[in-house]
């Protein structure tokens, strides 16, 4: 692993931890400049193509999903770790489906479900776009459904 500070090729692993999704976090120390840095390894599994509503297909983009969820959670008490966990869970679920293609609706439903558990305001923000809540009456109905649960 190349040191991000001095570009030296030699580093030693100081600590290794495993996460629930099969990823490995390694704490490393450069043998040349003695700086410490972390690396994260995760298995590359086949992720299905996403079928958009207009019928086009595109590759799953983890960063795009992360951006959308972060926008919904902006200025809310939702930690970056919780957002990363949600995106990781969605990505892992897509990988375990074992299908070549998945509707964008499936991904959207997973996001909606996850946000409903994380933060109800973030859920409403996402739902306005995802569910097409384009008037106050539709928005109020969705809020009422949340309050009943």
17 backbone dihedrals φ, ψ, rounded to 5°: -130, 150
Task: Say whether pTM exceeds 0.75.
Answer: no
Lookup result for tokens 């079928």? 51
- pLDDT tens, 22-73? 789 999 999 999 999 999 887 766 788 999 999 999 999 999 999 999 999 9
* Residue 103 C-beta-side C-alpha neighbours within 13 Å: 6
Q: Are strands 11-18 and 24-30 parallel, antiparallel or unpaired?
A: antiparallel
- pLDDT tens, 84-123? 999 999 998 998 888 889 999 999 999 999 999 999 999 9
């Amino acid at each position: 692993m190349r040191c991000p500070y001095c570009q030296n090729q030699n580093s030693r692993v100081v600590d290794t931890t495993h996460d629930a999704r099969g990823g490995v976090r390694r704490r490393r120390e450069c043998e040349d400049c003695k700086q410490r840095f972390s690396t994260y390894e995760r298995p590359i599994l086949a992720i299905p193509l996403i079928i958009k509503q207009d019928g086009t297909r595109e590759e799953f983009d983890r960063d795009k999903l992360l951006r959308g969820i972060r926008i919904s959670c902006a200025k809310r008490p939702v930690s970056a770790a919780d957002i990363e966990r949600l995106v990781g869970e969605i990505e892992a679920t897509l990988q375990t489906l074992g299908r070549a293609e998945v509707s964008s609706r499936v991904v959207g439903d997973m996001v909606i479900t996850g946000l409903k558990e994380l933060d109800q305001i973030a859920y409403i923000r996402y739902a306005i776009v995802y569910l097409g809540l384009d008037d106050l009456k539709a928005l109020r109905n969705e809020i009422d459904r949340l309050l009943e649960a």
